[in-house]
Chain A
Amino acid sequence: MQNSLMSTYNSPLKSKGMIAWVLSFLLFAFYLLIYFTNIPDSWANFVGLESKWNLYGVLYTISIVAGGLFFINTHGNSRYQKFRTFTLIFFQIIFAFSIPEIMGLFESKGFNFAKFWPLGIDLFNPKYIFEYPLLIIVYTFIGSLIVAPILTLLYGKRWYCSWVCGCGGLAETAGDPFRQLSSKSVKAWKFEQISIHTVLLLAILSTSLVIINWGLHFENSAGEWVTNYATFDLIASKIQGTYQFLVVAMLSGVLGVGLYPLMGSRVWCRFFCPMAALLGLIQKFGRFRITVKDEMCISCGNCSTYCEMGIDVRAYAQTNQDFKRASCVGCGMCAHVCPRGVLRLENKWDFRDTSDKEKRKVFDF
């Protein structure tokens, strides 16, 4: 038994009680203010920070560090949990927070080295990325297109989603008390498959248009950056703007965090994140899988309950099926909370295909 989990369903905060609704409302309000008003700038100035984004960065980092330490205190008896929580805290403090700040001190534009395309949709926007030194440009392209896919083939998308990523970082630390709220229904799974791949397509579309549009621009004799395709320019920037508003602000920020207390901490990662979608597709061809010990599952439901991605792990465990799921971020909690040690996260090329077509009919896979 995990001591920290014992009271999950006795706690109104963790089981959609009144207080959870209030917290959700406050998070929504906070994110709407941050994204769409300048009011938080005055709060930032009040505590001696330059802008609302600095304030947001500080609060975000504090949440990950505090939540992470709390998490380690309760689940640190597992070395894997300890390891990945430390890496999350490390990447947040050093990569997401300190390095950009330090770069700012040297009068250069801050850059988050822990972010890759398509999570950072602007990273493939020539107008944005070409303002950086060549080394950063190369880092971004090689990181996004070569290193990230290879690491995913070798270790699963967990190397990013639950060891490095800032969104995942907040979910795994401050958001951990809400992991059990993710829906395990087949309906939610079907919705997830449609929504997340739609966002991925939008990300690819938006990026392609932006790149093509950039290619259609040139510097005229007066030194202005112009294009002969004004309509295309308009459409491209409209789509880019829509993506920024809808996906980046609304889905990853407002909904993603605002719904923590009601729908779990991975709403963004599970339903909308284009990076998670892309790495998830690659993960299906990779080494990483969850292995099930035959006939040892007691169907208790701890694995499914504490899966933040809403995977019905028990459905696989009780039918002796090793499995790879695109959405699995490899947080390892299913294995950690299993009272019979049935599950294990493994990186092995040979995959024991235990899926049984007959059983599939029953369990609606």
Chain B
Amino acid sequence: MHYVIIGNGVAGINAANSLRNYDDEAKITIISYETEHHFSRTALMYVLCGQLSEQCVEPFERDHYEKMGFKRINDKVSKLDPDANKLTLESGKTVQFDKLLIACGSLPAMYGWPGSELDGVGNFVTWQDLQWLKEKAKTAKKAVVVGGGLIGIETVEVLLLAGIEVTFLVREDFYWPVALNETEGTIIAEHIRHHKVNLRLKTEFAEILGKDGKVIGVKTGDGETINCELVVICVGVRPQTDWLKDSGVALDERGGIIADDNLQTNYDNIFTAGDCAAVMWFNNVRRPEQLWYTGRDQGRIVASNLIGMKKIYKRGTFYNSAKFFDIEYTTAGLVNFKLDGEKNFFSHEEGTYYTVRITYLADNTVVGFNMLGRRWDHRVLVNWVDEKRQLEWVLKHLHEALYDEEFMPTFTLNQKVS
């Protein structure tokens, strides 16, 4: 049996590892053009600032492919012929497969702003972006980062460390409304400004200005001009599926490969996992979910389906974590869904960035947590949401979910209900 995996990211490599666990004999081929070795995309910022080396962000030793018996092809797939079980590569070579896993990930979203093609405009998602930004960061004095999400703030952070003056354009009224409420967003915004970032909220981005093919500034929606030599656009990612458009593999309106509960596409022997797969979310919507841990999970599960075990990918209660400069963030359950009759218990420890927000319904059932500053055990929080615990009970047991380093004083709650 020849398994071919397109993509060497977290979904692809985990699928390959699991496949090998199930089957010592299987022929496994991984096709990718981005890097020779699997690397952790989430760690690009640390490589840029020098906290980690390029090899540090490779989760496996260099001989992993050899040891596991994976064949690596450094090429880009340009065409899929599902009826002939055939892939055509950019080099012109073809690859036959028995079963195929498409885990080709996503690309930075660009919305065709005028000036996007100028020298000095880019993203911070791929290995190639890292090399590009590393080079640019050596000479740039002023930069504009567009997009108020996680990649945006991480880019701001590393550019600052490189000694660059950064303007951070965020379209929304406060920082990251997808994950934070206004109070939390304001705390983060203050923290961003505290690090001497020129944070501009409620600012639309209109066009990039250039001279002789190079960036000289950006124009905001209000017509204001901000001078800079570097523009990094971090407004999200989209599935990297343009090459599949006429292949017969069914895509959704976002470009995600439609995956059923077994992560199978509309072809029996073609599966998908990771950023490019439109999977069922916790709220029963089918769309791509571009998270690290869902990619890893899907990779492991799709492997059992590739060998024919029929395992169902079931997305449990949502949780995630992040870090905004020095502020850690943990979330679990449904916190920003404006559910019917929801109320929020909110507590902010004075003089700190430590906040606790517990979202609950009219009958006092807790549905979600949003925590800043301290470390929390999301497993405990998720359990409480699943068990439909009452607010009073949760507040009494909250210390059990604390995951701070030793010797950290415990939290104090000063209740504020909104």
Which A residues form the contact surface with B (CB < 8 A)?
A: 1-2, 5-11, 15, 77-80, 82-83, 185-186, 293-302, 304-305, 314-315, 318, 332, 335-336, 339-341, 344-345, 358-359, 361-362, 364
Structural contact, A298 and B42, CB atoms closer than 8 A: yes
Query: Hey, which chain B residues are within 8 Å of A7, CB to CB?
Result: 49-51, 161
Bound CA span A332–B408, Å:
13
Q: Which residue of A lies closest to B40 (CB)?
A: A299
Residue from B10, B57, B406 in contact with A80 in the complex, judged by beta carbons closer than 8 Å? B406
With contacts A6-B50, A298-B43 taken as known, whether A362 is within 8 angstroms of B405 at the C-beta atoms is no
Which B residues, 307 to 321, have Cβ-Cβ distances below 8 Å to chain A? 319, 321
Contact of B56 with A299 in the complex, beta carbons under 8 Å: no
Judge whether B53 and A15 touch: CB under 8 Å: yes
Given contacts A186-B61, A299-B42, 17 further A-B contacts (CB under 8 A): A9-B52, A9-B56, A79-B406, A293-B379, A294-B379, A296-B321, A296-B378, A298-B42, A298-B292, A300-B52, A301-B57, A305-B56, A332-B405, A336-B405, A341-B330, A341-B376, A344-B375
Say yes or no: A340-B321 contact (C-beta < 8 A), given A296-B378, A300-B57. Answer: yes
Does B296 lie at the interface of the complex (its beta carbon under 8 Å from any beta carbon of A)? Answer: yes
B51 lies within 8 A of A2 (CB): yes
User: A5-B51, A186-B61, A299-B59 are contacts. A361–B21 as well, Cβ < 8 Å?
Assistant: yes
A301-B21 contact in complex given A9-B51, A296-B378, A341-B375, C-beta closer than 8 Å: no
Question: B258 to nearest A CB, angstroms?
Answer: 25
B293 touches which one: A11, A296, A304 (CB < 8 A)?
A296
Q: Is the CB of A6 within 8 A of B52?
A: no
| Min CB gap A342→B, angstroms | 8
B321 x A341 contact (CB < 8 A): yes
B408 partner, pick from A2, A11, A79, A294, beta carbons under 8 A:
A79
Q: For B58, list chain A residues within 8 Å (CB).
A: 301
Across the interface, A9 reaches (CB within 8 A) one of B50, B375, B406, namely B50
- In the assembled complex, the Cα of A318 lies from the Cα of B13 at a distance in Å of 13
Sample 25 A-B pairs with CB under 8 A, ordered by A number. A1-B157, A1-B323, A5-B51, A6-B49, A6-B161, A7-B51, A79-B408, A80-B406, A83-B407, A186-B61, A293-B377, A293-B403, A297-B293, A298-B40, A298-B292, A300-B52, A301-B58, A305-B52, A314-B59, A318-B59, A332-B406, A339-B323, A340-B323, A341-B328, A345-B406
Known: A1-B326, A7-B50. A299 touches B43 (CB 8 A): yes
A362–B321 CB distance below 8 A: no
**B297 part of interface (Cβ distance < 8 Å):** yes
Measured between beta carbons, the chain B residues less than 8 angstroms from A298 are 40, 42-43, 292-293
B405 and A335 contacting across the interface, CB-CB below 8 Å: yes
**B403 and A362 contacting across the interface, CB-CB below 8 Å:** no
Contact A344 B43 (CB under 8 A): no
Q: Is the CB of B59 within 8 A of A79?
A: no
Cβ of B17 under 8 Å from chain A:
yes
Enumerate chain B residues within 8 angstroms of A83, measured Cβ to Cβ: 407
Question: Across the two chains, which residue of chain A brings its CB closest to B67?
Answer: A364
Verify A8–B157 contact, CB threshold 8 A: no
| 8 Å CB interface, B37-85 against A | 40, 42-43, 45-46, 49-53, 56-59, 61, 67-68
**B1-39 near A? 1/0 per residue, CB < 8 Å:** 000000000100000010011000000000000000000
Give the CA-CA distance A101 to B56 in the complex, in Å: 45
Asked if B403 and A341 make an inter-chain contact with CB atoms under 8 angstroms apart, the answer reads: yes
Chain A residues with CB below 8 A from B17, complex form: 362
A-B contact count (CB 8 A): 124
Q: When A299-B43, A301-B43, A318-B59 are in contact, do A362 and B49 touch as well, CB less than 8 Å?
A: no
Residues of A within 8 A of B68 (CB): 362
Given A79-B405, A80-B405, A296-B378, A9 and B21 contact (CB-CB distance below 8 Å)? no
B41 to chain A: closest CB distance in Å?
A: 9
Question: Which residues of chain B from 251 to 269 have any CB-CB distance to chain A below 8 Å in the complex?
Answer: none
**B282: CB under 8 A from chain A?**
no
Q: CB-CB < 8 A to A294: which residues of B?
A: 379
A residues near B323, Cβ cutoff 8 Å: 1, 339-340
- Report the minimum CB–CB distance from A98 to chain B (whole Å): 26
Chain A residues, Cβ within 8 Å of B56: 9, 301-302, 304-305
Beta-carbon contact of B46 and A302 below 8 Å? yes
What is the minimal beta-carbon distance from A351 to any residue of chain B, in angstroms? 16
Q: Which 8 A-B pairs have the closest CB atoms?
A: A300-B43, A341-B375, A79-B407, A10-B50, A298-B42, A299-B40, A9-B50, A299-B59
* A314 / chain B contacts, CB cutoff of 8 Å: 59
A299–B61 Cα gap in the complex (Å)?
13
CA distance A1 to B52 in the complex (A): 11
CA distance A344 to B321 in the complex (A): 16
Distance between A137 CB and nearest chain B CB, rounded to angstroms: 35
Among A11, A82, A359: residue with most chain B CB under 10 A? A359
Q: Does B325 have its Cβ within 8 Å of any Cβ on chain A? A: yes
| Set A77, A295, A336: member contacting B297, Cβ < 8 A | A295
Q: Which residues of B contact A341 (CB under 8 A)?
A: 321, 328, 330, 375-376, 403
The reply to whether B50 and A8 form a contact with Cβ atoms under 8 Å apart is: yes
A301 with B59: CB separation less than 8 A: yes
**How far is A315 from B59 in the complex, measured between Cα atoms in Å?**
7
- Chain B residues with Cβ below 8 Å from A297 are 293
Q: Name the distance in Å between B84's Cβ and chain A's nearest Cβ.
A: 33
| Chain B residues positioned under 8 Å from A304 (CB to CB) | 56
The digit string for B159-171, where 1 denotes a CB below 8 A from any CB of A, is: 0010000000000
- Chain B residues with CB below 8 A from A335, complex form: 405
User: Which residues on the B side are within 8 Å of A359 (C-beta)?
Assistant: 21
B residues 364-383 near A (Cβ < 8 Å) are 375-379
Nearest chain B CB to A26's CB is how many angstroms away? Answer: 25
Alpha-carbon separation in the docked complex, A11 to B49 (Å): 11
